[in-house]
Structure formats: C-alpha cells, structure tokens
C-alpha cells in the first residue's frame, strides 16, 4: 500500500511535464488516454487524498520529524477545520430545513396516523417484553436480595448479579423494539430516527444500571463506593443526566449524518450542543459533595480548565491534544474509581469509610491488570486517532520508527514491572498484617510472627531493587542498547567495590547470618557491648536500636559481635528482702507463696507469669537482717511490672502479719576515748562472729 501511494504521488507530480510534452509533439493514444484520466476531477481529488495520506503516514512523519513539517501540517489542518466550520454557518438553516422537509414529506406520503401507529407499536413491543421479563424473573430478584454479603467475594458476586439483572432488563426492552422494526415496514426517515433514539435510550438506561451498581442510592448494602446516601443520589443523578445529554447529542448528530447533512453543519450543531454538556459537567464539578476547602476549589478550577481546553481543542480541530487530554483524564478517573471500589469491597461491612485496609493479592493483581490494559488501550486509541497505522509502525525500519517502537516497549515493560511489584508488595503486606494479628493474639506463634516482621521488610526492599534493575536493563535492551557490556561492567565494578568496601561487605554478610541464626527480631530487646535497646528496624548493613530512655543507636552488623537477647521465651527474676532476726520464717514463706498465687490469678498479671512467685529460703545472715531470696518466671520484659506489684503486696502482707523489715541504725554516744575504742572493738568482734566460715 505504501508503494502504491508513492507511485501515485510520482504520477501526480509528472502531470505537468507530460502535458508540456503533449503540446510539443503528437502523443500516442495510450498517453492521451492517461492524460485524459489524470485530468478528470475525480481522479485528481483521489490523487490529492493519496498525497495527503502519504503525508499522514508514519514514514512521511519520520521524514519531516527533524523540521517543522509536522507542526505546519497540524496548523494547516486546524486552519482548514475552522474554515470548514465557518463556511458552514450560513448553511445551517437551509441544511436543517432540508432534513426537516424530508421528514415532513415522508409523513405526508405515509400519513401522520401511520407514523403514530408505528411509534405506538415500537413502544408497546419494547415495554411489553420488558414487563414480561420482570414478571418471570421474580425468583432471580428474591435470590439477589437474599444473597449473603459477608466476604468480598460474596459482595462482588451479589453486586454483579444485580448489574446483570438490570442489563438483562434493558436488553429485553431492546429486543422488543428490534422486533418492532422487523415486524413492520418503516419509512426511511422514521426508521433512522428511531434507531438513533433506541441507541440513546439504551445508553441512558445502561447508565442508570451502572449508577445502581456503583452508587446504589436505594440499597446501601449493594454500594460499591464508600458514599453516604445523599452523595450516592448526587452522583447517580449527575451520571444519568450527563449520559442522557450525550446520548441526545449522539442521536441528533447520527440522524443528521444519515439525512445527508453537510459535515461542517453537523459539526457546528455538535459544538453548540457540547456547550450544554460542558455546563452540566461544570455544575457537577462545582456542586460535588465534600468540604469546601482550598483543595476542593483547586480541584474544581483544575477540572474546569481541563474540560474547557478539551472543548476548545475539539472545536479548533486540535484532535491530537483533544484525544491525549481526554484519554489521560479518562484513565486517571477510571483508575481512581477502581482503587476506591477495590478498597471498599475489602472493608468490613458497616465499617467506617476511613478504616485502613490491607489490599489482598487478588485485589492488587486485578487493579494493576486493569491499569495495564487501560493504559495500553489508551495508547492504541491515541495512535489510531492521530492517523498512525499501528501495523505499519510495527513493520517500519527507520530510526524514528525504531525509537517509537522502543518507547512503546519501554512503557509496556514498566507497566508489567509495576504489576509484578504491586502484586508482590501486596503479598508481603498481607502476610505482615496476618502475622501481626497472629502474633498479638496467639503466644505460640509470637516467635514466628516477629521473625517474619523482621525478614519480610528486607525481602521487600531487596525485591524492589532487583525488579527495578531487571526492568531498566530490559527497557534499555528494548531501545536497542547492548546491555552485555553493562552487565559485564557491573560485575567488574561489583568486584572492585567488594575489595574497596570490605567493611560494608562484612556488615551485609554479618546481617545475613544474624537473620539466618534468628539472633534477634523486630521488637526484641538486645544488648551487645555498650549498645542495648529494642530492635526497631533493619537495613542491609545495620540495625536500629531504641534505648529504653529514648536514644536511638544505628549499629552496623559487623560491630555487634555477641548478642544478648533479653526477649526470648522466658525470664527468671530474683528478688531479695531483709527481715529482722526475730521474724517467723515459715510465716513469711506462706505469705510470699500466697502473694505469688494471687498475682498468677490476676487478670492483668496472670497471663505473663509462667511460674508464680515463691520463696527459695534464707540467703544469708547479715549484720542487721536475715536475707531471704525469692524468684518467679515471667514472659520477657514483663518482670519489671510484676516485680513492683510483688514488692507492694509483700510490704502490705508483712505489715499486717507482724513481720518487720530490717534496716541499719546508727547510734552516736559520748564518752572517753577508751569507751569509744571499746565499743568499736565490740562491733568488730560481732561482725566477725556473724560472718560465714
């Protein structure tokens, strides 16, 4: 086809030389026939179209890509479009009058009664089949209403069953009206008008069905978006109103085209009707529900400018700008809608709209897959509406075509990498949420939960870097860059960095082995040398410790060495008190045992006590007190609170039962130096006698 267009262009360029030769010498019959054919107005018009087609082809666009040809062509096209619309202004009245005259002529030919009879049959068959469908589908309606909606899958199934029922209802109406077309003989003008009217009615009713799917203003449990009832009614009504006006524009323009109205005239009519569409959209933008703050106003002005620019681009003939802006707005709006639906469907029924939701793997995969398909489809639509043949673009071999093809490949690679990353990220976040819930509620799985909370964030970060590197290398390869030297160079640089950054390598390797040995996890309290604190997070080379007084240590793994973990399994806490020599030790033992049992039975303390408090016996005889030792086994980190509670209970119990705590006293007395020396000697002798042998 491209070769044919080139030959046609060469033939058209050679018309003048051939004509000059024909004037100088008698031409053969075949030459005269060729010249006669080329001078025909229809052939010349076809040649002009082919020349214009060549100018719009990818090869021609590539040929002028380094100059101003493309821009000049766009400006010329806009100028021609405006001239055609301006030239159609005086013809609007006559063209519309001619179309109306044709309709009146048909009505006069067939009779007004015949027209109204056909219209009545059209409506009766459509609404009759619709009513019949409603009567026989009562069981389906009751099943949809009674459908359980406890899980996201059940909610989605019920919502789409409701949507399918509504679509089937509309299809029944369309089937009845089609039957009316098949059953009767219709005048051409009325047939064309009713066909467009039928399409418009179906569009409006499908908008209503879609509004009931998304907003469900009368049935909150079927609502796919987090809206209250007032907001649902607002968006449902605006959706139906805007689609109804768009369907009206479509029906009018298609009918005018079918009646043979000139292109400039029906385009002018479409632009005038589009002003009403713009007014409806602006009313929706500026009256949308939400707090009237600065963000609300900024979004309103941004959308106003965007829609006005789109309409102006359509009017002046800047179709590339129009399609680019329309597709960007459409894809962005649809993706916002899909994300909101996915989050709302996973939220607990009846939960507040701001409840945080961890997306499931299936939801993340579906949302990103929809995004991938939307962007690729938008790119294809944009390319086709700009007059570029996608198949020819894929077959082309010029430098610019190769660059365009490479850019398309880069976009596809980035979208696939984005899909894979968000699915993998959703898997990790979902798993983190599950282990968080399990670890908080089930002590038997607490260790595994904390270990996963430690390892999974590192796996996520490493996976992101790996996927990003693979995507970049693949994109460079798609652009025609030879990545083999880059891979080899990266290996050499890696070896050089390994030798030059031995400390870094040591930190990374030590961290890997700390994780493999499960030496510590996020949330555990550890001590290594002078560093101690709660593990808050990891990186590839260091651990972040939060001291119990607030300071934060960032310690490289290579500097940790031996690690003392104070948060594993259990802790034995030992307590010591001193009582007077005249105290009843057996009574003290029973009181301490009773206190341990009471603490173990306490709702707050009991779950953290593995072995209750008990007295081990007399530790030693002191200068002024008998030291007794107690112990208990608790969960790690809980011994401090339980110890304070135990000391308070022991003080109360001992005071109530006459057991006194011993404490040292100092006695100061006067006298001679000999008396003071004798008193000092007596105290020294007593301490030696009390000391163990």
Q: What is the pLDDT of residues 183-192, one digit of tens each?
A: 666 667 677 7
pLDDT computed for residue 686 by the predictor:
61
Structure tokens given for 496:
């050089």
Find tokens 């983190």 and name the residue: 432
| C-alpha to C-alpha distance for 605 and 689, rounded to whole angstroms | 43
Over 50: is that where the pLDDT of 351 sits?
A: yes
Confidence of residue 43 (pLDDT cuts 50, 70, 90): low
pLDDT computed for residue 582 by the predictor:
85
Over 80: is that where the pLDDT of 46 sits?
A: no
Q: Is the dihedral of CA 462, 465, 468, 474 positive or negative?
A: negative
CA nearest to 650, candidates 617, 687, 613: 613
The edge-to-edge listing of strands for the beta sheet with 609-621 is 571-579, 626-634, 609-621
Domain edges within the chain: 2-87, 94-339, 340-481, 491-568, 571-656
Q: Which of 56-70, 365-379, 435-449 is predicted with the least confidence, judged by mean pLDDT? A: 56-70
What kind of fold does domain 571-656 have according to CATH?
Alpha-Beta Plaits (3.30.70)
- Spell out the alpha helix ranges (H) of 442-582: 446-478, 484-500, 502-516
State the average pLDDT over residues 149-157. Answer: 81
Give the number of other CB atoms < 10 A from CB of residue 689.
Answer: 7
Q: Which of 46-50, 236-240, 468-472, 637-641 is predicted with the least confidence, judged by mean pLDDT? A: 46-50
pLDDT computed for residue 86 by the predictor:
81
Give the number of other CB atoms < 10 A from CB of residue 11.
Answer: 14
Which residue did the predictor score with more confidence, 630 or 316? 630
Strand partners, 555: 543
Q: What is the DSSP letter of 228?
A: -
pLDDT computed for residue 280 by the predictor:
92
Question: For residue range 489-503, what is the model confidence (pLDDT) as tens digits?
Answer: 767 666 766 665 667
pLDDT computed for residue 305 by the predictor:
92
Over 60: is that where the pLDDT of 261 sits?
A: yes
Say whether domain 491-568 belongs to CATH 2.30.30.60.
yes
> Is the fold of 491-568 the same as that of 571-656?
no
Mutual orientation of helices 263-286 and 69-88 as an angle, nearest 10°? Answer: 100
| C-alpha to C-alpha distance for 153 and 134, rounded to whole angstroms | 27
Q: What pTM did the predictor assign?
A: 0.59
Structure tokens given for 616:
């081990």
- Main-chain phi, psi angles of 317, to 5 degrees: 90, 15
Confidence of residue 370 (pLDDT cuts 50, 70, 90): confident
| C-alpha to C-alpha distance for 429 and 361, rounded to whole angstroms | 9
Radius of gyration of the chain (CA): 43
Q: Are strands 525-528 and 564-565 parallel, antiparallel or unpaired?
A: antiparallel
Question: For residue range 315-325, what is the model confidence (pLDDT) as tens digits?
Answer: 887 878 888 88
| C-alpha to C-alpha distance for 326 and 190, rounded to whole angstroms | 34
pLDDT computed for residue 9 by the predictor:
33
Over 80: is that where the pLDDT of 278 sits?
A: yes
Strand partners, 543: 538, 555
């Amino acid at each position: 086809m491209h070769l044919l267009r080139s030959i046609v262009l060469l033939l058209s360029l050679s018309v003048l030389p051939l004509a000059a030769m024909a004037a100088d010498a008698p031409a053969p019959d075949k030459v005269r026939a060729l010249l006669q054919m080329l001078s025909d107005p229809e052939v010349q018009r076809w040649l002009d179209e082919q020349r214009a087609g060549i100018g719009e082809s990818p090869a021609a666009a590539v040929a002028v890509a380094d100059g101003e040809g493309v821009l000049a062509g766009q400006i010329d096209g806009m100028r021609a479009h405006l001239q055609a619309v301006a030239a159609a202004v005086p013809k609007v009245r006559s063209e519309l009058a001619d179309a109306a005259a044709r309709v009146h002529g048909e009505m006069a030919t067939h009779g007004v009664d015949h027209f109204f009879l056909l219209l009545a049959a059209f409506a009766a068959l459509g609404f009759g089949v619709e009513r019949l469908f409603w009567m026989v589908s009562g069981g389906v309606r009751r099943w949809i209403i009674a459908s359980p909606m406890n899980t996201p899958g059940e909610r989605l199934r019920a919502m789409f069953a409701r949507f399918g029922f509504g679509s089937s209802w509309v299809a029944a109406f369309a089937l009845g009206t089609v039957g009316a077309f098949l059953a009767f003989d219709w005048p051409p003008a009325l047939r064309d008008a009713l066909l467009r009217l039928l399409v418009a009615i179906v569009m409006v009713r499908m908008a209503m069905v879609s509004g009931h799917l998304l907003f469900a203003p009368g049935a909150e449990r079927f609502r796919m978006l987090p809206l209250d009832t007032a907001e649902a009614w607002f968006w449902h009504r605006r959706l139906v109103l805007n689609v109804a006006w768009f369907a009206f524009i479509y029906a009018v323009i298609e009918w005018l085209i079918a009646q043979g109205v000139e292109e400039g005239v029906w385009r002018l009519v479409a632009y005038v009707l589009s002003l009403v569409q713009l007014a409806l959209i602006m009313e929706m933008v500026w009256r949308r529900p939400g707090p009237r703050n600065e963000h609300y106003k900024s979004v309103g002005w941004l959308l106003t400018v965007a829609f006005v620019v789109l309409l102006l681009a359509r009017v002046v003939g800047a179709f590339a700008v129009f399609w680019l802006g329309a597709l960007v707005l459409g894809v962005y709006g649809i993706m916002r809608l899909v994300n909101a639906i996915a989050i709302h469907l996973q939220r607990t029924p009846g939960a507040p709209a701001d409840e945080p939701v961890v997306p499931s793997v299936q939801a993340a995969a579906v949302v990103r897959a929809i995004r991938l398909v939307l962007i690729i489809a938008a790119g294809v639509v944009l390319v086709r509406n700009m007059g570029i043949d996608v198949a020819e673009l894929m077959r082309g071999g010029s430098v610019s075509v190769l660059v365009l093809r490479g850019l398309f490949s880069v976009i596809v690679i980035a979208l696939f990498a984005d899909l894979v990353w968000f699915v993998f990220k959703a898997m990790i976040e979902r798993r983190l949420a599950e282990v968080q819930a399990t670890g908080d509620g089930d002590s038997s799985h607490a260790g595994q939960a904390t270990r996963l909370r430690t390892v999974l964030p590192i796996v996520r970060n490493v996976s992101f870097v790996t996927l990003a590197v693979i995507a970049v290398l693949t994109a460079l390869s798609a652009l025609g860059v030879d990545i083999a030297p880059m891979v080899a160079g990266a290996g050499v640089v890696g070896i050089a960095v390994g030798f030059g950054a031995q400390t870094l390598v040591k930190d990374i390797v030590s961290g890997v082995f700390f994780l493999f040995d499960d030496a510590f996890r996020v949330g555990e309290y550890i001590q290594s040398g002078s560093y101690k604190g709660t593990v808050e997070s990891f990186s590839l080379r260091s651990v972040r410790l939060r001291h119990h007084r607030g300071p934060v240590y960032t310690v490289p793994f290579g500097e940790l060495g031996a690690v003392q973990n104070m948060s594993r399994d259990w802790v034995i806490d030992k307590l010591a008190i001193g009582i007077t020599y005249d105290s009843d030790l057996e009574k003290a033992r029973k009181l301490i045992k009773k206190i341990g049992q009471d603490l173990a039975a306490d709702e707050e303390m009991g779950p953290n006590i593995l072995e209750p408090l008990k007295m081990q016996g007399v530790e030693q005889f002191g200068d002024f007190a008998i030291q007794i030792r107690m112990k208990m086994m608790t969960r790690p980190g809980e011994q401090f609170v339980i110890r304070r509670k135990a000391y308070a209970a022991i003080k109360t119990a001992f005071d109530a039962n006459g057991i006194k705590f011993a404490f040292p006293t100092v006695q100061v007395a006067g006298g001679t130096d000999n008396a003071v020396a004798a008193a000092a000697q007596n105290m020294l002798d007593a301490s030696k006698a009390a000391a163990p042998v």
